[in-house]
Amino acid sequence: MMSLAVENGRLCYATSPLRGGRGQNHVEGFFERAQFEAVCRRLPADLQSAAHIAFTFGWRTQSEV
């Protein structure tokens, strides 16, 4: 949005370059609820909580949970 404002003369500069394209954060697939529950049943009890948090909020386990 900021880059569009700069291009249209509504903003002098953007704090960071915001261009389209596929970066490292793109998502390639999703778990449906039934698929998630099947996987979660096979996890150790201590990992099930983290898995539920990640699934509920759409977080990545290595960087956000």
Provide the pLDDT for residue 40.
93
Lowest mean pLDDT of 8-12, 19-23, 52-56, name the range: 19-23
Q: Of 63, 20, 33, 58, which is closest to residue 41 (Cα–Cα)?
A: 33
Tokens matching residue 46: 């201590």
Return mean pLDDT, the chain.
78
Q: Can you give the residue ranges of every domain in the chain?
A: 30-65
Prediction pTM value:
0.49
Asked if residue 25 has pLDDT above 70, the reply is no
Amino acid symbol at 28: E
What does the pLDDT look like over 37-51, one tens digit per residue?
999 999 999 899 888
